[in-house]
Amino acid sequence: MEVYRSSATLSDGRRLLYFDTAPDTGRDRWIDERGLGAASNASQIRWDALREEWVGIASHRQSRTFLPPADECPLCPSQDGRRTEIPAPSYDVVVFENRFPSFTTTATGAAVDAAPFLARPAIGSCEVVCFTSDHDTSFSQLPTERARMVVEAWADRVAELSARDGVEHVYPFENRGVEIGVTLAHPHGQIYAYPFVPPLVARIADAGRRHRERTGDCLGCSLLQSEERDGVRVVVAGEHWLAYVPFAARWPFEVHIAARRHVPDLAATTPDERADLASTYVNVLRRFDALFETPTPYIAAWVQAPVHSGRDDVHLHAQIFTVRRAPGKLKYLAGSESGMAVWVNDVAPEDAAARLCG
């Protein structure tokens, strides 16, 4: 599949990209006439010396848009005189910079150098990815070709953002459902470019490095092979991807979709791998949505290698998980999880896999 990209600039200077299956769609000729003023952004990252981790402080985000009615959706195309974030009257897949970003190239948060108090402006990027112009659908319902376009857009963004000065990690993800705080119902995901290696990726890279030193093998490859051999937690065995509930799953329903080939990030995948990913990914999301009578809230998180370190120690995979443990019951991150980082999962991973395969 050939995917063509064209770009536009929103009225406050933010960049927007249209992804299309044909060249010269002319979508980029539509002008954003809203006359938005530049959004101020005092985002900062602060060093948590107790855990040796960076924390984002983004107090300007308290006033961000919260669940607007469908006829005011900012992610629908501009139509019938109503102007949205997308100037064109139609689109397939679109990516643009968030107006209320936690990380941005223009962050003005103060730098602090008074150890143990350290802070920096939250340089980076927060992009929004609209999967479709259809407000009332979801990723699991996308035709495979459209899902493939999203995968192509991810790969494009990972390559471009990784090349930016100061970016240490790129993170495509989707939050879906009000139960996890989603503020816009229109099917969309996000891509963060962090100015540091996120704690989770740092831990996975450390574990990968130690495993390689001990065994000579990639940890991600070893886990994938072990899960496939064990078999009881495998959900979808695709040509280029394996989807399974991990042996030590934290969430009631959690699936990892791992690349069969040892590959660090989405930008390094082949066209065949991206095509197979589109169908495997939608397959898994449909299984999530079939778990309960109402659509399953979920987080879909791409774990990629850091941009400048541990490139060989992190094996590309997505982690998809839901906070719903039973109809009407959520898995809360309470004292053990939020206070100690000890997860207690009430659903046996083998039972979760059986439900997802059923």
Tell me which of 41, 78, 140, 175 binds a copy of itself, using CB under 8 A: 175
Element (H, E) at 159: helix 144-162
Instruction: Identify residues 126-155 at the interface with a copy of itself (CB under 8 A).
Output: none
Is the Cβ of residue 27 or residue 120 nearer to a copy of itself in the bound state? 120
Residue among 74, 166, 198, 238 that touches a copy of itself (CB under 8 A): 198
CB 68 to a copy of itself: min, Å: 15
Contact range with a copy of itself by CB under 8 A, out of 13-21, 68-76, 200-208, 279-287 = 200-208
Residue 58 burial by Cβ neighbours in a 10 Å radius (0-12, 13-18, 19+): buried
CA distances from 170 to 123, 125, 188, 253, 283 (A): 13, 9, 17, 25, 24
Touching a copy of itself, residues 205-234 (CB under 8 A): 206-207, 210-211, 219-220, 222-223, 226, 230
217-227 residues labelled b (16+ CB within 10 A) or e (exposed): ebbbbebbeeb
For residue 113, what are the contacts with CB-CB under 8 A and spacing of at least 6? none
User: Count of alpha carbons within 13 Å of 83, Cβ hemisphere only?
Assistant: 10
Nearer to a copy of itself among residue 77 and residue 101 (C-beta): 101
> Which residue in 174, 265, 276, 289 binds a copy of itself (CB under 8 A)?
174
Smallest separation, CB 89 to a copy of itself (Å): 30
For residues 258-297, which are near a copy of itself according to CB under 8 A?
none
Stretch that binds a copy of itself, among 3-11, 131-139, 187-195, 235-243 (CB under 8 A): 187-195
- The sign one gets for the Cα dihedral 81, 86, 88, 93 is negative
CB of 118 to a copy of itself, least distance (A): 9
Helix (H, G, I), strand (E, B) or coil at 269: coil
107 lines the binding site for a copy of itself (CB under 8 A): no
How many residues touch a copy of itself under the rule CB under 8 A: the total is 78
User: Which H or E run includes 190?
Assistant: strand 188-194
The length of the chain in residues reads: 358
Q: Select the span of 55-63, 86-94, 157-165, 267-275 touching a copy of itself (CB under 8 A).
A: 55-63
Residues of this chain, 69-98, that bind a copy of itself according to CB under 8 A? none
- Our CB check for a copy of itself shows the closer of 27 and 324 to be 324
Structure tokens given for 22? 């044909």
Enumerate the active-site residues. Answer: 188
Please list every residue from 319 through 358 that binds a copy of itself, using CB under 8 A. Answer: 319, 321, 325-326, 329-336, 338-349, 351
From the list 4, 314, 43, the residue with the least C-alpha distance to 193 is: 43
Instruction: Quote the least distance from Cβ 179 to a copy of itself, whole Å.
Output: 8
> Binding a copy of itself by CB under 8 A: which of 165, 248, 293, 358?
248
Q: How far apart are CA 221 and CA 229, in angstroms?
A: 12
What three-state secondary structure class fits 258? strand
Among 182, 260, 292, 295, binds a copy of itself (CB under 8 A): 182
- Nearest approach, Cβ of residue 342 and a copy of itself (Å): 5
Q: What is the x/- site pattern for a copy of itself, positions 9-48, by CB under 8 A? A: -------------------------------------xxx
Which of helix, strand or coil describes residue 266? helix
SS3 string, 273-303, reads: HHHHHHHHHHHHHHHHHCCCCCCCCEEEEEE
Pick the closest to residue 75 from 86, 64, 88 (CA basis).
86
Closer to a copy of itself by Cβ: residue 22 or 110: 110
Cβ atoms 4, 27 nearer than 8 A: no
